[in-house]
Amino acid sequence: MNETIIDIISEIIKVDSAEIAQDPSSFGLGETDGWDSLVHLEIMTALEEEYDIELSIEDMEATDTAEKILRYFET
């Protein structure tokens, strides 16, 4: 699952997936060039579609880095 999540983020923010996998805490909303609120919504929507789930606004706000997204989907 982690690889799929990283691939989705990578494709949307246009950063090599290996870089994200190496240090997911370094990639996030407002921390990464190109990851703004609209891009964050695009990532969340892509994850909802991939895993056929519906995330709450609170969950979307709480998962604002690649690391937090990975942790969220581990549960």
> With a cut of 70, which residues of the chain have pLDDT below it?
75
Structural domains of the chain in order of their starting residue, each with its CATH number: 2-74 (1.10.1200.10)
- Predicted pLDDT of residue 49: 97
Q: Model pTM? A: 0.92
- Predicted pLDDT of residue 1: 79
Distance of alpha carbon 71 from alpha carbon 38, whole angstroms? 22
Distance of alpha carbon 55 from alpha carbon 66, whole angstroms? 16
Burial label, 7 (beta-carbon count in 10 A; 0-12, 13-18, 19+): middle
- Predicted pLDDT of residue 54: 96
